[in-house]
């Protein structure tokens, strides 16, 4: 996960290209072609058609939406739900683990591993929805 | 020893030195990686002493990088032939020390992988941001300057380039001093006097670093530094050391007169444990008075000069440690007139013990500077050329 | 569906409408007093501030500190390397009289941390809240050198279990956000709420720019102190009885 750069500058273009790869892989998957020899990310989305935007659009552009929302939230205090990271996490957290990271089946990490793009969100952001966030792990980070 | 044997030994020596430098630099890099992975909790730094040993190393190298260019400036700007012959070496050392200092400074960041953000997001009110600009400008200007010195067709441009480098490095060191001069929060900093003080420090430490490298190179090639050059540089070093001593004394005298700063001055100069010991013992006596005695004593030798230069460098580290770490160890005076206490170190002298990773990172920076110097000297033949014929192999300096 | 059911529904609908009419003025008042629509950016017409009354703050009480730790997912263990966004400082004067006050980011109008930050990660929001944008913070700690209140902490270790609304992680500098995530939804900072819950009500939160607000009235009529007033940083946090 580490060392591939951050979501800034150059890494942006890499991320965009990688998203394209994922999108192509995704469409191959959608085209009902079990015979493909291309290994695909093993992530499963929740019920289809319920995402805040078109699936194809999200595959290519989720990072743009997130960065846009992030700047509006941090600097202007606009906390609309639709494109917020918390909203992504609350819907896409794995049904068993309740998280979007931690394994190759997790929604965010699985695909980012597949595309070899550094996932820089969850070092700081909670990778599970609010309800389980406080229950699953006590606040840590204090020196032992 | 035949010429072939000598050159084979010399090559072997070069590779050994280069390997040593690379190994230490790698160790520093790995230490920084450990700091990045585990967090700064593995260093001695904390929320009170936020800058520690890495910053002592980094600021030493950045300040000395500017001063080491002095030699070139005296040659190109003020037209002294003896110094001009040393200008290329001085330029190379400048680049090497600057690289070493920035290596440490960048790898000590909490998010070193985001260092590119410092180039894409700029806050023009920040002294730190100015410094980012000054460092990159310094690299460019010195590189161009070296080119004018080494490419015969560019020779007419060497004087303007030297002048540009001279002006730029004065601004650069002023910028380094301003990092501290602009801090209103802590008693140790926040005075404009730090700007001339940093300039004087850069002159002294840069020249000391130059002298050490120069004499090592002469010894390596079995040459002795001509007496005339020795005398000039010796006097110059003494002058710079005295200037620093004077400005440091002025800083502490004026600060000590301000009643609000009296307790802090007493801490740094008298009862602060390691800090007064380093200040008086390592900086004032070993790092200033002893070198001055070595320089001024009748019959002072070339070896005396090298020892003096080494002591000045050691004293520099001591002074910076007292200035940076000691200045932060003293608590902030947030509520004047009250005795304070809290869970966050209010009213308490902070403890700081450097850990292995941060020391390794600092030494790694020195190794980077060393490696660049060794490779540069060999690849580009930076040895001053003015006295090569007059070279008996016997009694080389600084062995 | 029976006719009775339909009738019930009708009554419920009317009831809801009536309730809406009755509540609407209140809701509007609340909005005017407290903020803005979710899509509206923070405005400089507002300046959030706090007024701490030392006469009501008890030495042995740290309700504000634990509330902050809980709200923001901070470590409860207090060491030299742990993040502390708010702390209780005990002051002893020359007569030996002891008082206690909460110390946190003072949300200066002229914040030194913002001036020194090389990347602009340390910034002041339009409504006066001083924040760190962790996406651009490189962890140089210059702001910690510059803050005269020692209000900032560096995250020295990897973090886990963050609150979804309060992302935080290793290698960045952080400090009191005035619970900006609560303010943006019309709430008040956790420390203020916790202090009120103890019955002491030592911390008053409000809009300093609104002359009708309780905090502005009190600042206008009582002697209040800005900590390190000599530096003229115009902090948004003020103290009574210091």
Write the pLDDT tens digit of every residue in B22-70: 999 999 999 999 999 999 999 999 999 999 999 999 999 999 999 999 8
CA distance B172 to B182: 15
**Structural domain total, chain B:** 1
- Does the structure show a pLDDT above 50 at A131? yes
Q: Which residues of A, range 58-77, sit inside 8 Å of C by Cβ?
A: 70, 72, 74-77
Q: Are residue C130 and residue C160 in the same domain, yes or no? A: yes
- The pLDDT tens digits of the residues spanning B158-191 come to 889 999 999 999 999 999 999 999 998 999 999 9
Share of chain A above pLDDT 90, in %: 31
In this structure, of B83-92, B117-126, C4-13, the range with the lowest mean pLDDT score is C4-13
**Residue B389 domain flag:** no
Query: Per-residue pLDDT averaged across C212-223, rounded?
Result: 94
Q: Are residue C109 and residue C144 in the same domain, yes or no? A: yes
Q: Are residue C19 and residue C122 in the same domain, yes or no? A: no
Strand partners, C225: C239
Tell me how long chain A is.
144
**At B267, is the pLDDT very low, low, confident or very high (cuts 50, 70, 90)?**
very high
- The pLDDT tens digits of the residues spanning B130-160 come to 999 999 999 999 999 999 988 888 888 888 9
Q: Whole-prediction pTM value? A: 0.87
**Residue B226 domain flag:** yes
Strand partners, C102: C88
For chain A, how long is the longest CA-to-CA vector?
Answer: 52
Phi first, then psi: give them for residue C238, nearest 5 degrees: -130, 160
Q: Which residue of chain C has the CA closest to B39?
A: C157
Q: Are residue C2 and residue C81 in the same domain, yes or no? A: no
Contacts of A8 in chain B (CB under 8 A): 114, 116-117, 120
Q: Are residue C26 and residue C101 in the same domain, yes or no? A: no
**Residue C43 domain flag:** no
Q: Are residue C28 and residue C131 in the same domain, yes or no? A: no
Which of C78, C91, C154 is opposite residue B110, by nearest beta carbon?
C154
**Residue B388 domain flag:** no
**Structural domain total, chain C:** 2
Q: Are residue C103 and residue C168 in the same domain, yes or no? A: yes
**Residue C39 domain flag:** no
**Residue B314: how many other CB atoms lie within 10 Å:** 16
Q: Are residue C127 and residue C230 in the same domain, yes or no? A: yes
Q: Do C148 and B39 touch (CB under 8 A)?
A: no
Location of structure tokens 């191959």: A28
Q: Are residue C182 and residue C227 in the same domain, yes or no? A: yes
- The pLDDT tens digits of the residues spanning B215-251 come to 888 888 788 888 888 888 999 999 999 999 999 999 9
As a whole number, the mean pLDDT across chain B is 91
Tokens of A39: 């290994």
Q: Are residue C26 and residue C127 in the same domain, yes or no? A: no
Location of structure tokens 């070069």: B14
CA distance B148 to B161: 7
**At A63, is the pLDDT very low, low, confident or very high (cuts 50, 70, 90)?**
very high
CA distance, residue B96 to nearest chain A CA (Å): 26
Helices (H), chain C: 3-34, 63-72, 112-116, 142-146, 180-183, 190-197, 214-221
Q: Are residue C132 and residue C236 in the same domain, yes or no? A: yes
Instruction: Give the burial class of B321: count Cβ atoms within 10 A of its Cβ; 0-12 exposed, 13-18 middle, 19 or more buried.
Output: buried
- Does the structure show a pLDDT above 70 at C109? yes
Structural domain containing residue C208: 48-240
User: Domain of B83: which CATH number?
Assistant: 1.20.1630.10
**Residue B399 domain flag:** no
Contacts of C77 in chain A (CB under 8 A): 142-143
pLDDT given for residue B86 in this prediction: 86
CA distance, residue C214 to nearest chain A CA (Å): 24
Provide ipTM, 2 decimals: 0.90
CA torsion sign, C27 to C28 to C29 to C32?
positive
User: Domain of C177: which CATH number?
Assistant: 3.30.70.20
Structural domain containing residue B28: 15-380
Closest Cα to residue B110, out of A84, A118, C210, C158?
C158
- Does the structure show a pLDDT above 90 at C174? yes
CA atoms within 13 A on the CB side of B16: 6
**At A139, is the pLDDT very low, low, confident or very high (cuts 50, 70, 90)?**
very low
CA distance, residue A90 to nearest chain C CA (Å): 10
- The pLDDT tens digits of the residues spanning C11-54 come to 555 555 555 544 444 443 334 445 688 888 999 999 999 999 99
Location of structure tokens 């940093």: B198
CA A93 to chain centre: 10
Q: Are residue C89 and residue C167 in the same domain, yes or no? A: yes
Tokens of A93: 């957290």
């Amino acid at each position: 996960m580490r060392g591939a750069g951050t979501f800034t500058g150059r890494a942006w273009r890499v991320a965009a290209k990688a998203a394209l790869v994922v999108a192509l892989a995704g469409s191959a998957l959608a085209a009902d072609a079990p015979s493909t020899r291309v290994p695909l990310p093993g992530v499963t989305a929740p019920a289809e058609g319920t995402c805040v935007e078109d699936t194809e659009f999200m595959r290519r552009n989720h990072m743009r939406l997130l960065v846009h929302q992030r700047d509006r939230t941090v600097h202007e205090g606009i906390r609309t739900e639709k494109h917020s990271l918390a909203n992504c996490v609350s819907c896409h957290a794995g049904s068993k683990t309740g998280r979007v990271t931690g394994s190759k089946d997790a929604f965010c990490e699985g695909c980012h591993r597949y595309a070899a793009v550094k996932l820089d969100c969850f070092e700081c952001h909670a990778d599970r929805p609010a309800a389980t966030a406080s229950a699953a792990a006590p606040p840590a980070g204090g020196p032992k | 020893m035949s010429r072939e044997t000598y050159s084979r030994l010399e090559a072997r020596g070069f590779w050994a030195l280069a390997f040593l430098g690379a190994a230490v630099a790698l160790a520093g890099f790995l230490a920084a990686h450990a700091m990045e992975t585990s967090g700064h909790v593995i260093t001695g730094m904390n929320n009170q002493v936020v800058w520690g040993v890495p910053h002592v190393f980094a600021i030493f190298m950045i300040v000395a990088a500017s001063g080491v260019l002095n030699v070139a400036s005296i040659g190109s700007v003020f037209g002294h032939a003896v110094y001009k012959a040393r200008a290329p070496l001085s330029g190379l050392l400048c680049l090497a020390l600057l690289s070493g200092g920035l290596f440490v400074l960048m790898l000590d960041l909490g998010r070193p992988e985001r260092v590119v953000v410092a180039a894409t997001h700029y806050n023009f009110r920040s002294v730190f941001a100015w410094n980012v600009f000054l460092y990159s400008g310094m690299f460019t200007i010195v590189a161009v300057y070296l080119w004018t010195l080494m490419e015969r067709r560019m020779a007419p441009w060497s004087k303007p380039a030297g002048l540009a480098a001279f002006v730029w490095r004065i601004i650069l060191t002023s910028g380094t001093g301003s990092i501290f001069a602009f801090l209103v929060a802590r008693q140790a900093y926040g005075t404009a006097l730090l700007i001339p003080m940093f300039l004087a420090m850069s002159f002294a430490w840069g020249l000391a670093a130059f002298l050490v490298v120069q004499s090592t190179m002469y010894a390596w090639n079995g040459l002795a530094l001509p007496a005339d050059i020795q005398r000039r540089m010796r006097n110059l070093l003494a002058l710079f050391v005295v200037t620093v001593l004077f400005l440091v004394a002025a800083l502490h005298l004026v600060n000590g007169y301000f009643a609000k700063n009296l307790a802090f001055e007493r801490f740094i100069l008298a009862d602060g444990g390691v800090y007064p010991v380093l200040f008086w013992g390592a900086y004032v006596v070993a790092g200033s008075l002893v070198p001055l005695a070595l320089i001024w004593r009748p019959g002072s030798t070339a070896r005396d000069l090298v020892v003096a230069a080494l002591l000045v460098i050691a004293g520099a580290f001591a002074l910076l440690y007292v200035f940076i770490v000691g200045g932060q160890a003293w608590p902030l005076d947030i509520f004047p007139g009250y005795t304070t206490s809290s869970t966050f170190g209010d009213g308490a002298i902070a403890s700081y013990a450097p850990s292995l990773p941060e020391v390794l990172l600092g030494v790694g920076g020195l190794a980077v500077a060393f490696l660049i110097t060794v490779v540069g000297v060999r690849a580009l033949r930076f040895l001053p050329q003015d006295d090569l014929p007059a070279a008996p192999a016997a009694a080389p300096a600084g062995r | 569906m029976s006719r009775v059911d339909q009738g019930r529904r009708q009554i419920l609908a009317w009831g809801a409408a009536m309730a809406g009419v009755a509540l609407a003025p209140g809701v509007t008042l609340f909005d005017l007093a407290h903020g803005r629509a979710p899509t509206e950016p923070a405005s400089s017409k507002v300046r959030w501030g706090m007024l701490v009354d030392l006469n009501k703050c008890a030495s042995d009480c740290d309700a504000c500190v634990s509330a902050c730790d809980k709200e923001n997912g901070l470590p409860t263990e207090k060491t030299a390397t742990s993040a502390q966004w708010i702390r209780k400082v005990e002051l002893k004067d020359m007569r030996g009289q002891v008082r206690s006050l909460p110390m946190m980011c003072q949300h200066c109008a002229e914040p030194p941390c913002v001036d020194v930050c090389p990347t602009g990660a340390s910034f002041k929001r339009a409504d006066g809240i001083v924040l760190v944008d962790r996406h651009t913070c490189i962890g140089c700690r210059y702001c910690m050198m510059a803050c005269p209140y020692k209000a900032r902490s560096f995250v020295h270790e990897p973090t886990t279990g963050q609150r979804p609304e309060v992302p935080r992680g290793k290698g960045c500098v952080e400090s009191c956000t005035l619970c900006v995530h609560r303010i943006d939804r019309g709430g008040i900072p956790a420390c203020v709420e916790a202090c009120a819950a103890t019955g002491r009500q030592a911390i008053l939160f409000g809009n300093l720019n609104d002359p009708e607000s309780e905090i502005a009235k009190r600042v206008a009529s009582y002697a209040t102190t800005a900590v390190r007033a000599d530096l003229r940083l115009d902090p948004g946090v003020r103290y009574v009885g210091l």
